[in-house]
Amino acid sequence: MFTDQGDSPHRSPELFGISLSWELDGPILLDLLEQQKIPIWNHERKNDDPIVFGGGPVLTANPEPLAPFIDVVLLGDGEQLLPSFIDQISKLRNLSRKERLQILGQIPGIYVPSLYEPKYASDGTLLAIEPINSEIPNSVSKQTWLGNTLSHSKVITPDAAWPNIHMVEVVRSCPELCRFCLASYLTLPFRSPSLEDGLIPAVEKGLTTTKRIGLLGASITQHPQFAELLTWLNQDHFDGIRLSLSSVRASTVTSKMIKVLTHRGCKSLTIAIESGSEKMRALVNKKLSEEEIFTAAKYANEGGLKAIKVYGIVGLPTEEDTDIEATAELLIRLKRTIPRLRLTLGVSTFVPKAHTPFQWHGVRPEAKKRLQKLTKQLKPQGIDVRPESYGWSVIQALLSRSDRRLAPVIANVRGSHNSLGGWKAAYNAARKGELLNTNTQSISLTMLPSWEEIIHNSWSSSRVLPWHHIEGAIKLNQLIQHQKQALKNQA
């Protein structure tokens, strides 16, 4: 069933699940619940309403803003969590909703938000998030799948976001630990299934249905057998298949890799440089030299690709205007070195993500001007600049940094109010006590932090964070060390 194509609701589902990869998709959950005629607030659901569960990076990193809408969050890998969750659900069918949630909340990796209560100081500062009874653990830790297979597409259709492509997950997580990177920190350890038992069977399955294969993962070329995978895909009997790759580490690009990609219908190469400034690359722990960037571009050019796409970030902690100039200067030199290739810069604003060493840093307002500056300098040079909206990055930060007091704001901005101005107006209305507080009866919404505090301010590392009770892959004191290390290198 495709929820965005007007298919009618399932008549009596027992479970309703959603995986969220992007903060701004949060309000969609509420639309989908409404479409399915499920009460949007978890405390309004009755015994025969479905259990609403979720997972994915957004809900694993910081489930709190959506906590009042969700019954169960699966923290970590679905391969590890889903079988026991489904098994329990089928065993607990005859119990009341309250009893089922109480039992589910004691299973490792299963977080039941309604069984936790935030405690606030009189000024609205979050003091703790505590279980409401002694059988529920103080914190819930993310679960990790260590089997020799990762995921691949189960449904291939022209109606999908990537039409007719069979996606194969080549690696999970990334060992590089760039200090802002959720895809790395949240999903550690780095895992790479073997070619013979994991990747080849997954690709072969897709080839029974389609000729388009997408290789996915945060850092696919770091799979220890990636070169062998390409050699296997380059065999003559696979002629006619088209290959697509997610972004690759520039330092791992080889001329052989580009030849195979061109042969298999790839048109472009995507690399993330983050910044043209060496100082910024050192700050974020991006172990990438200028020489490696130019070498990757040279191979792309010589191998016959048509385009190269470079990703960058502005507004990083300690960034100065000179760092933006360094990015512009590097891109211009790159364009002059490979004039034949279409060069695109995709550039976003730094947004702090939970469980990363930069989680305590705010969104820098200077980023807005820096995005404009890069666009203005690079477009006349024939470089296609695609800046992400600064305004929506601010809303992303609101969703990634808030606690469950944000829920009435999310409920309010849906539909016609889901605009940048609508978010700020709803937030201010909540602070003034003008929004109905249907979810957090004991908490006054006037205690919401200021917009400035939640979006832009840097926070002390001793602050109790909304995701304090969610244990990620890396302990808090290690994250503090990584943050200190990053900033020390800038001194």
Q: Which residues sit at the interface with ligand SF4, rule CB under 6 A?
A: 174, 176-178, 181, 183-184, 218-219, 249, 272
**Which helix (H) or strand (E) element contains residue 469?**
none
**Which helix (H) or strand (E) element contains residue 179?**
none
State the nearest-atom distance from the C-beta of 181 to ligand SF4, in Å.
3
Render the burial of 347-370: b for 16+ CB within 10 Å, e for the rest: bbbbbbbbbbbbbbbbbbebbbeb
Complex with ligand SF4: residue 29 or 280, whichever CB lies closer: 280
Complex with ligand SF4: residue 47 or 289, whichever CB lies closer: 289
Ramachandran angles phi, psi of 271, nearest 5°? -130, 145
Complex with ligand SF4: residue 173 or 402, whichever CB lies closer: 173
State the nearest-atom distance from the C-beta of 122 to ligand SF4, in Å.
40
Q: Work out the number of other CB atoms within 10 angstroms of the CB of residue 460.
A: 7
At 314, is the secondary structure helix, strand, or coil?
strand
State the nearest-atom distance from the C-beta of 193 to ligand SF4, in Å.
18
The DSSP line for 393-411 is HHHHHHHHH--GGGHHHHH
Cα distance between residue 202 and residue 238, in whole Å: 15
State the nearest-atom distance from the C-beta of 406 to ligand SF4, in Å.
26
Complex with ligand SF4: residue 153 or 356, whichever CB lies closer: 356
State the nearest-atom distance from the C-beta of 280 to ligand SF4, in Å.
13
Complex with ligand SF4: residue 49 or 176, whichever CB lies closer: 176
At 191, is the secondary structure helix, strand, or coil?
strand
Complex with ligand SF4: residue 129 or 313, whichever CB lies closer: 313
Complex with ligand SF4: residue 65 or 312, whichever CB lies closer: 312
Tokens of 401: 């940094």
The DSSP line for 106-141 is TSTTEE-GGGEEEEE-TTS-EEEEEESSTTS-S-EE
State the nearest-atom distance from the C-beta of 173 to ligand SF4, in Å.
8
Complex with ligand SF4: residue 47 or 481, whichever CB lies closer: 481
Sign of CA pseudo-dihedral 417, 420, 425, 427:
positive
Complex with ligand SF4: residue 176 or 323, whichever CB lies closer: 176
**Which helix (H) or strand (E) element contains residue 213?**
strand 212-216
Cα distance between residue 301 and residue 138, in whole Å: 55
State the nearest-atom distance from the C-beta of 178 to ligand SF4, in Å.
3
Q: Work out the number of other CB atoms within 10 angstroms of the CB of residue 326.
A: 19
Cα distance between residue 126 and residue 118, in whole Å: 7
State the nearest-atom distance from the C-beta of 145 to ligand SF4, in Å.
18
Q: Token match 């249907």: residue?
A: 438
Sign of CA pseudo-dihedral 152, 157, 159, 163:
positive
State the nearest-atom distance from the C-beta of 324 to ligand SF4, in Å.
19
Complex with ligand SF4: residue 215 or 409, whichever CB lies closer: 215
What burial class does residue 429 get, using C-beta atoms within 10 Å of its C-beta: 0-12 exposed, 13-18 middle, 19+ buried? middle
State the nearest-atom distance from the C-beta of 184 to ligand SF4, in Å.
3
Beta strands (DSSP E) in 234-389 are: 242-245, 268-274, 307-314, 342-349, 384-387
Complex with ligand SF4: residue 104 or 171, whichever CB lies closer: 171
State the nearest-atom distance from the C-beta of 251 to ligand SF4, in Å.
10
Q: Token match 């994250």: residue?
A: 479
